[in-house]
Structure 1
Amino acid sequence: MADHSALRATLKKTATDFIDCCNKYTVDAVLSLRTDTCKHTHLPSSLGIPTYSKTEYGAFYGQYVGLMSDCSCRIVDEKEMVVDVESRKVVMYTKAKANTPLGEYENEYMWILTMTGDGKMIEDIVEFCDSAKAVELVKKQQAQMNA
């Protein structure tokens, strides 16, 4: 049972480290805990964002690094974090906030992270956001570009 408890603690630490990396708001930091074969899926699928490889996600994420400042992401309640040792998955609910030239941006996310066997790296990411907030930001960006 000690191995089970240790792996659970490692999975939880990797998940919280992932959020810490998001708060550094650099491409290198956001990619640092991903395996080379890590896939990143955005949901809902109605957003039309494809599943990205690690390299593709770095390019996608890099588009937003200069757009936002004072970014912060936080786990809403660590007690509500779901850690499944057998499947090496962690599910967590987060809230994010950032400043943009178009005003403040806030959103909510559910993350499903699948880790490596030792729990120290991320093999797969499913990110589910409040799509209305994401679409609102994109519409503001497009309006500014067309103005």
Structure 2
Amino acid sequence: MKTSIRLEQAVQKLYNAFYNNELHPECCKQCAVGNILDNSDSWKHLSDQHGALELNYLGNVHQSFGRKFNGYTPLELLHIEATFLRACGYQLPFHHKNKKPKNPTDKDVLFKGLTAVVTLLCSLDGIPNFMDYTKLFEFKNEKPRFQIA
């Protein structure tokens, strides 16, 4: 399957962050977007709240000029982060009074977030979700449709 460079790089960065314990939903440098943007927190200035889907003035300026950050538009970045936070169990926008997971760095919590992000990244690039394992269980005439090599 042919993927874009931005997708390959994003997944590699998220994979490394997950296995190196450098993924934290509440840190703008270590969240999904922070890792995709090389542990930068500059993206947080694109909206007024962490987890919001609305661009602020600065975000709209970058979006209207067609600016991309490691291949992603400001609006795509906000959607990536919101998807990650929501899948990790956060109520959006992120606020200390809103619902959040008891242990935000629990591997199961982070895996759910990453699974949702990879699904979104694949959708943004118009390719099938390579983490979708449901094909393994498809059958026809009581036999598996696909063989595992």
Higher normalized helix content (fraction of residues)? 2
Same fold (TM over 0.5): no
Q: Which one has more relative contact order, counting CA pairs under 8 Å at least 6 apart?
A: 1
Q: Which has a greater percent of strand?
A: 1
